[in-house]
């Protein structure tokens, strides 16, 4: 007798329930043989939070107890990467499981409304709605400048201020309580670590950080200047604020007894908003903390597996026992979570840029040890969100910060000896075989995903 896979069992059970008029996919199943799955899901996205800007990921300047708790109680990836280093494109990839050149959100949608995600584009939200989950989103909504979340299947867009910043968790907690007895999907898109509308960081009341401890994190590659410490202190203050909001949600789940049945996923959309980080395809631009916590179903662990955020949606759907749409280009990591003996690790992760506000066409491939970047224009990367800050011009004069200079056609880095990606080995004959391997991987992935840039790679 053939065995059902976990996904096949859940799919067939859902079809049977639908045919008999019974409850949706988010309802508890009576069969004792049904594989377990989360009853509730909370996706927490951080805006511009660096991949090492959590205490348990290596940050020493401040404590981040709520995110540290998620890391301690979940499966935490130490080598997870966004497919792009810009918020609109990245967030569209979270919910579609696709690369930006496929879903079409290739730049900031408030600057390029024509790049907005179409309302009929497949996402992970529609399968969850069809399965019976109550869906809501609060905070940043940035995959389209045209449509509302409701037009994509979210049942509710919880209120925020005009700048979309979540400043309290009252509405999120109210939604949790309203749907404690039935399945819910709640997307909490925090924006504390994003600069405000004036391009600044403000010290958060009650979460102050002294400048004498605000040393720039080493992986940012920035000098320890007073002007930079001024900004770092305020950035870290907002990290503390965001962490406190996450802590309030975790505490409430404990109080109402929903912790075990709730899958929480934590991810950031790109690196910190400092020169050479956000908008770049270096690790400090695309690296992100990624955690899956589900106490009832996932044993806590830390993993060095390469994970791409194009994998987030298929993994989440697979954990819920829902079919993964054929349109998704990522892969599910459920096999890794369940200790599948046939699990095959990712050989590489791929990232890309077309636009942020302006054009920065770039492609990159990263393996365990190496990074290859193909710059499709020589236009400078620019100073990013720090443009206009008092230290920006002086920083650009340093040889290790060439962000206002023309970009080379290609870059190659050995991350084992050069984690800051400063020594370009593209012309080093000792790395010729590595270069050829990475170029081949990049071209194969571009062709497989129908990247229009493939002929230029």
Residue 32 lies in a domain: no
261 and 355: one domain?
A: no
pTM: 0.92
140 and 287: one domain?
A: yes
Instruction: Give the chain's radius of gyration (CA, Å).
Output: 22
89 and 229: one domain?
A: yes
185 and 107: one domain?
A: yes
pLDDT at 390: 87
Phi-psi group of 176: left, alpha or beta (phi > 0 → left; psi -120 to 50 → alpha; rest → beta): alpha
Q: How many Cα atoms occupy the beta-carbon half-sphere of 32 within 13 Å?
A: 0
Final residue of a structural domain among 337, 359, 379: 337
Antiparallel, parallel or unpaired: β 370-375 and 359-366: antiparallel
For residue range 28-39, list pLDDT tens digits in order: 444 455 678 999
pLDDT band at 384 (very low <50, low <70, confident <90, very high): confident
> Measuring CA to CA, which residue among 73, 74, 69 is closest to residue 55?
69
212 and 114: one domain?
A: yes
Domain around 56: 38-337
Residue 303 lies in a domain: yes
326 and 396: one domain?
A: no
167 and 305: one domain?
A: yes
323 and 423: one domain?
A: no
228 and 105: one domain?
A: yes
3-state class (DSSP) for residue 170: helix
For residue range 88-144, list pLDDT tens digits in order: 999 999 999 999 999 999 999 999 999 999 999 999 999 999 999 999 999 999 999
CA 444 → CA 190, 424, 453, distances in Å? 35, 23, 12
432 and 314: one domain?
A: no
Final residue of a structural domain among 311, 337, 363: 337
Query: Is residue 204 a contact partner of residue 237, using CB atoms and an 8 Å limit?
Result: yes
For residue range 156-210, list pLDDT tens digits in order: 999 887 788 899 999 999 999 999 999 999 999 999 999 998 899 999 999 999 9
Residue 443 lies in a domain: yes
Angle at alpha carbon of residue 54, lines to 302 and 316, rounded to 5°: 55
Residue 342 lies in a domain: no
- Domain tally, the chain: 2
H or E stretch at 349: strand 349-355
DSSP-assigned letters across all residues of 259-275? STTEEEEEEESSS-SST
332 and 372: one domain?
A: no
């Amino acid at each position: 007798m053939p065995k059902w896979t976990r996904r096949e069992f859940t799919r067939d059970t859902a079809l049977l329930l639908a045919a008999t008029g019974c409850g949706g996919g988010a309802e508890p199943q009576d069969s004792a043989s049904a594989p377990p799955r989360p009853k509730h899901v909370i996706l927490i996205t951080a805006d511009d939070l660096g991949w090492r800007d959590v205490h348990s990921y290596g940050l020493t300047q401040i404590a981040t107890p709520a995110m540290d708790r998620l890391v301690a109680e979940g499966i935490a990836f130490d080598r997870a990467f966004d497919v792009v280093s810009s918020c609109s494109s990245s967030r569209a990839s979270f919910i579609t499981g696709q690369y930006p050149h496929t879903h079409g959100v290739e730049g900031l949608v408030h600057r390029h409304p024509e790049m907005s995600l179409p309302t009929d584009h497949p996402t992970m939200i529609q399968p969850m709605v069809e399965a019976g989950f109550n869906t809501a989103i609060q905070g940043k909504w940035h995959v389209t400048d045209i449509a509302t979340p409701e037009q994509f299947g979210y049942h509710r867009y919880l209120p925020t201020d005009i700048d979309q910043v979540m400043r309290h968790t009252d509405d999120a907690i109210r939604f949790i309580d309203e749907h404690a007895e039935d399945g819910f999907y709640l997307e909490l898109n925090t924006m504390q670590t994003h600069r405000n509308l004036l391009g600044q960081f403000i010290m958060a009341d009650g979460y102050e950080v002294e400048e004498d401890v605000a040393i720039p994190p080493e992986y940012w590659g920035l000098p320890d200047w007073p002007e930079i410490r001024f900004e770092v202190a305020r950035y870290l203050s907002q990290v503390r604020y965001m962490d406190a909001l996450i802590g309030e949600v975790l505490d409430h789940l404990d109080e109402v007894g929903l912790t075990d049945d709730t899958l929480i996923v934590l991810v950031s959309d790109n690196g910190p908003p400092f020169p050479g980080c956000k908008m770049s395809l270096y690790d400090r631009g695309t690296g992100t903390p990624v955690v899956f916590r589900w106490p009832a179903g996932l044993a806590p662990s830390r993993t060095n597996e390469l994970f791409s955020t194009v994998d987030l949606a298929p993994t989440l759907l697979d954990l819920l026992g829902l079919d993964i749409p054929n349109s998704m280009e990522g892969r599910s990591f459920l096999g890794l979570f369940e200790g599948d003996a046939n699990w095959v690790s990712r050989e590489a992760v791929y990232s890309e840029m077309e636009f942020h506000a302006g054009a920065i066409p770039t492609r990159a491939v990263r393996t365990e040890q190496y990074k290859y970047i193909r710059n499709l224009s020589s236009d400078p990367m620019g100073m990013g969100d720090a443009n206009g800050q008092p230290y920006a011009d002086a920083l650009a004069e340093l040889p290790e910060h060439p962000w206002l200079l023309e970009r080379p056609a290609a870059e190659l880095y050995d991350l084992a000896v050069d984690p800051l990606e400063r020594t370009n080995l593209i012309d080093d004959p000792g790395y010729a075989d590595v270069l050829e391997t990475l170029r081949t991987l990049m071209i194969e992935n571009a062709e497989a995903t129908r990247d229009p840039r493939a002929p230029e790679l």
